[in-house]
Amino acid sequence: MAKDHPPDDEERVAIVSRLHRRVSEALHEVLTGPLGVSPDEPLLAEALLLETPREEAHGDLTSVAAMRLSQGVGMMKKSPRDIARAVIEELTKSGALDDVFETMEVAGPGFINFAFKRSYVESAAAECYVSDNLGVEPADELHTVVIDFSAPNVAKPMHVGHIRTTILGDCLQRVLRFLGHTVIGDNHVGDWGTQFGMVIHGLKRKGLAEKAQRLSVDEIEAVYREVADACETDEAQADAARAEVVKLHEGDPENRRIWEAVMTTSLADLDAAYERLDVTFDRTLGESFYNEVLGEVTADLKTKGIARESEGALAVFYEDDRYPPFLVQKRDGAYLYAATDFATVKHRVDTWGADWMIYVVDARQRLHFEQLFDACRRWGYEHVRFDHCWFGSILGEDGRPFRTRAGGTVRLSELLDEAESRALAVVEEKNPDLPPERKREIARVVGIGALKYADLSQNRTSDYVFSWDKLLALSGNTAPYMQYMYARVKSIFRRGGLGAEDLRKRGPAYRLDTPEELKLAKTLLGFADVLELAADQLRPNFLTAYLYDLAGRFSVFYDNCPVLKAPDDPLKESRLTLCDHTARVIRLGLHLLGIDVVEQM
C-alpha cells in the first residue's frame, strides 16, 4: 500500500533555519573575536541557540548567550547585561545583521532581543512563497527512520483503540519524510500469537476449518471470542488452544492452511480501514516473519552476555536491578514478544540501514520499551536512536474509556461511519443546494479529518475526552475550522475571478504596510521551525497549534485589510499573495497531519 513520495533531490530552501544559522554565526564571530571567548568554551554551543519570544513585545528572536556565558570561567567577572551590551555593540560595529534586524536590545536579566526589519520580512516571505516547499529545507542530519505503528492483532476488526497509534504514526512518517529523512513505515501486525491458537481450535471444534477462507472477519472474531471466554474458566480449552499455536509454529500443514486463510481475510479488512483513513505502509512484517530467526537471535543474546538462563527460562537482567528481568523465552521453549522485538531491531538495522526507530505504542508499554532499548544498546545498537512515542487513552464524556452506549468496544469502521454521517448533517445544514455526491465527498473529508485533528491536536501523553460536538465544531482548534479557513481563502479568488497560479508565476512583491500584514507574514515564516520541532519531539500538536494561530492571524488581517478592494493594484497583489501563501501553508500543514481540504464547505 505504498504511495509515491516527492523526489529526494527536490530543491528546497529554508528561510528561518538559514536565518538562525546566520545569526548564530554572527554571534560566534563577535564572541570568539573581540569579546575573547575561547572557541573551546563548553557553554558556547548552548549560548548560540536562539529562541522565539513568547510575547511579541520582546521582538522576533531572543538570544540567551549573555546569560549562558556569564557562567563560564572566562566571563565570570561580567554581568549578563554587560555581556549582552558588549555583544550588541560588536554586532552593530560589524554590520553583519544590518539588513535583518531593526533593533537589538538588552532585556531583563540579560536577554538579547532582535526585531526584524519590515524589508527583511518582505523579502524572506517572498522567497518562501515561490518555493515549492514553502521555505522548508531538509533536516540538518538525515536519518533512515523506521516507524512501527498501528500493529493491530489480526483475526478481528480494528477498534477505536487503534486510531491513536495509526494516525499519529502516519503523521510522523509524513512530516519526517517531508523533512528529507528516508522513512519506512512498518505495520508489525500481531499474526503469530496466542489468539491464533484460539481461532484454530475454535474453527476445528465448530467444524469450520475447511471453510476458513470463506468466513468474514466478524465470523472469525466471534469464534475467537467464544474460545477466549471459555479459556478463562476451562483449563482443557486453554491447553487445546496452546497446543494448536505450538503446532502452527512447528509448521503443521493444516494449521498453516487455516492461518493463511484467516490472514488473507484479516489483511483485506485492515486494508479497507487504512484506505478510508488514507494511511499507507512501506512494509507489513508481522510477528510470523521473524519466527525462523528467533533461535539465532536468542543465541546471539546469550553469547554476548545480554541474556542468560534463570530457572529454565531466558531473560535479560539489568545492573542495579533498575528494571525487572526482561523475559525472552519461557522454560517450555516458547518465545515471547521480547524475542520478536529483538529480531525486528536486528532486521531493521541490517536490512534497511535504520539509525532511528520510533515505536508508536500506548503508555502501558513504557517499561517494555525502556527494557528493550537498554538491552539493544548493550547488544551493539548504541548508534541507533530509539524512541517510544507513547500516548494516553481516549475517554468518553463520563471520563471512562470510550465505549458504545451498551458498554462494548467501538469498532473503527463504526466510528468512521458516524463521523461521516454527522459531518453530512452539518453540510446539509450549511449548503443544502449542493449536489448529493458533492455533499457526501465534503462529509467524508470533514468527518475523517475531524477525527484525526481532534486526536493530533492533543498533547499525546495525555488522555483526552472524545466529544462529537467539539471535534466537528466550525470554530476553535478543529479540522472543520481549518478546512473552513482554507475554503474561505479560496473563495476570495473565486469572487475576484482570479487565479493564484498567475501570482506565483509573476513572483510576489510583498508590501507589508500594516501591523496585521506584518504579523501574518512573520507567522508564515515560522512554518519550517514548527515542523522541525514537531518532528524532533514527535508531537504533532505543535503543528496543529501553529495552524490554529495562523488561521487567527489571517482572520485579523482579513478583517482589517481590504483585499479585492485594496487602495491600489500593487497592494492588492501583495494582499492576494498573503492570502494564497496562507492557504498553501494550511493545505500543506493539514496534508502532513493526514487531512484533506475542500474548496467549498
Q: How confident is the model at residue 304 (pLDDT cuts 50, 70, 90)?
A: very high
Residue 486 lies in a domain: yes
pLDDT of residue 323: 95
pLDDT of residue 332: 85
pLDDT of residue 17: 62
Residue 218 lies in a domain: yes
Q: How confident is the model at residue 74 (pLDDT cuts 50, 70, 90)?
A: low
CB 134 within 8 A of CB 527: yes
What's the mean pLDDT in 420-430?
94
CB 70 within 8 A of CB 92: no
pLDDT of residue 492: 94
What's the mean pLDDT in 13-23?
66
Residue 406 lies in a domain: no
What's the mean pLDDT in 570-596?
97
Portion of the chain with pLDDT greater than 90, in percent: 78
Q: Would you say residue 49 has pLDDT above 90?
A: no
Q: How confident is the model at residue 321 (pLDDT cuts 50, 70, 90)?
A: confident
List C-alpha distances in Å: 509 to 570, 573, 576. Answer: 8, 8, 11
- In the sheet with 50-51, reading across from the earlier edge strand, the strands are 50-51, 61-63, 111-116, 101-107
What's the mean pLDDT in 122-132?
92
- Of 279, 297, 313, at which residue does a domain stop? 279
Cell 482570479 belongs to which residue? 498
Domain extent for 205: 190-279
Q: What is the pLDDT of residues 225-272, one digit of tens each?
A: 999 999 999 999 999 999 999 899 889 999 999 999 999 999 999 999
Q: Would you say residue 454 has pLDDT above 90?
A: yes
CB 120 within 8 A of CB 99: yes
Q: Which range is least confidently modeled, 16-30, 526-540, 548-562?
A: 16-30
Specify the CATH number for the domain of residue 574: 1.10.730.10
Residues 194 and 92 in one domain: no
Residues 196 and 112 in one domain: no
When computed from its CA atoms, the radius of gyration of the chain, rounded to whole angstroms, is 28
Residues 501 and 584 in one domain: yes
CA dihedral 133, 138, 139, 140 (to 10 degrees): -130
DSSP, residue by residue, 59-81: -SEEE-HHHHHTTSGGGTTS-HH
Residue 149 lies in a domain: no
Residue 322 lies in a domain: no
pLDDT of residue 3: 39
- CA gap 520, 553 in Å, rounded: 6
What's the mean pLDDT in 280-290?
97
Residue 106 lies in a domain: yes
Average pLDDT of the chain to the nearest whole number: 91
pLDDT of residue 12: 32
List C-alpha distances in Å: 372 to 11, 305, 316. Answer: 39, 15, 9
Residue 339 lies in a domain: no
What's the mean pLDDT in 521-530?
94
- CA gap 304, 309 in Å, rounded: 13
List C-alpha distances in Å: 512 to 59, 126, 136. Answer: 17, 11, 22
- CA gap 529, 533 in Å, rounded: 6
DSSP, residue by residue, 487-498: HHHHHHHHHHT-
DSSP H helices in 116-193: 118-130, 163-178
* Residue 266 grid coordinates: 484479516
Specify the CATH number for the domain of residue 61: 3.30.1360.70
* Residue 345 grid coordinates: 531491531
What's the mean pLDDT in 299-304?
97
Q: How confident is the model at residue 490 (pLDDT cuts 50, 70, 90)?
A: very high
Residues 587 and 499 in one domain: yes
Domains identified in the chain, total number: 3
pLDDT of residue 513: 94
- Of 216, 247, 279, at which residue does a domain stop? 279
- Of 116, 140, 156, at which residue does a domain stop? 116
Instruction: Report strand pairing: 144-148 vs 356-359.
Output: parallel
Backbone dihedral region of 168: left (phi > 0), alpha (psi from -120 to 50 degrees) or beta? alpha
Q: Would you say residue 18 has pLDDT above 90?
A: no
Q: Would you say residue 396 has pLDDT above 70?
A: yes
Residue 327 lies in a domain: no
CB 445 within 8 A of CB 483: yes
pLDDT of residue 72: 64
pLDDT of residue 11: 32
CB 477 within 8 A of CB 544: yes
Nearest-CA neighbor of 450 among 475, 428, 430?
475
Note the pTM of the prediction, 2 decimals.
0.91
